[in-house]
């Protein structure tokens, strides 16, 4: 069963809804673990709105390795440990520059020895 966790959600003064999410999908293959830094700009004035997402992907079978890397002394299921550890590690994520959280998570996954890839997604309302 797919699990989606919001790690951080902030409504910025400029109208952007900024979120950090983690999706854990046992059937997701090489993208079974997906972290996303997401910007949702709703329509304002002459700007019709747009969205941007910057993700890091890793195989779901790397879950235990990531949980042990981020929360080596925590007890409980690997999914819970990884969610809690990333929520704590990224508590200041709204203060980072564009793609800052994506970069931070990519570095952590790589430091754990996990093969990770990145992706960028965007949508512009015309």
d(C-alpha 3, C-alpha 103), whole Å: 22
Please give the radius of gyration of the chain, using alpha carbons only, rounded to the nearest integer. Answer: 15
Instruction: Return the domain boundaries, the chain.
Output: 3-124
Are 20 and 38 a contacting pair, CB within 8 Å? Answer: yes
Question: Could you state, in chain order, the average pLDDT of each consecutive group of 10 residues for the chain (126 residues)?
Answer: 97 92 97 97 81 97 98 96 98 93 98 98 83
d(C-alpha 27, C-alpha 29), whole Å: 6
d(C-alpha 5, C-alpha 19), whole Å: 10
At which residue do the structure tokens 């019709």 appear? 48
Quote the pLDDT of residue 125.
Answer: 74
d(C-alpha 101, C-alpha 52), whole Å: 13
Quote the pLDDT of residue 126.
Answer: 65
């Amino acid at each position: 069963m797919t699990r989606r966790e919001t790690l951080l959600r902030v409504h910025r003064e400029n109208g952007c809804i900024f979120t950090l999410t983690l999706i854990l999908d046992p059937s997701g293959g090489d993208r079974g673990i997906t972290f996303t830094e997401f910007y949702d700009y709703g329509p304002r004035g002459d700007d019709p709105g747009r969205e941007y997402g910057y993700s890091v992907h890793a195989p779901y079978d790397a879950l235990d390795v990531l949980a042990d890397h981020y929360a080596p002394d925590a007890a409980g299921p690997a999914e819970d440990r990884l969610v809690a550890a990333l929520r704590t590690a990224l508590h200041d994520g709204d203060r980072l520059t564009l793609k800052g959280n994506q970069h931070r998570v990519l570095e952590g996954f790589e430091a754990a020895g996990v093969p990770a890839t990145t992706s960028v997604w965007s949508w512009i309302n015309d």
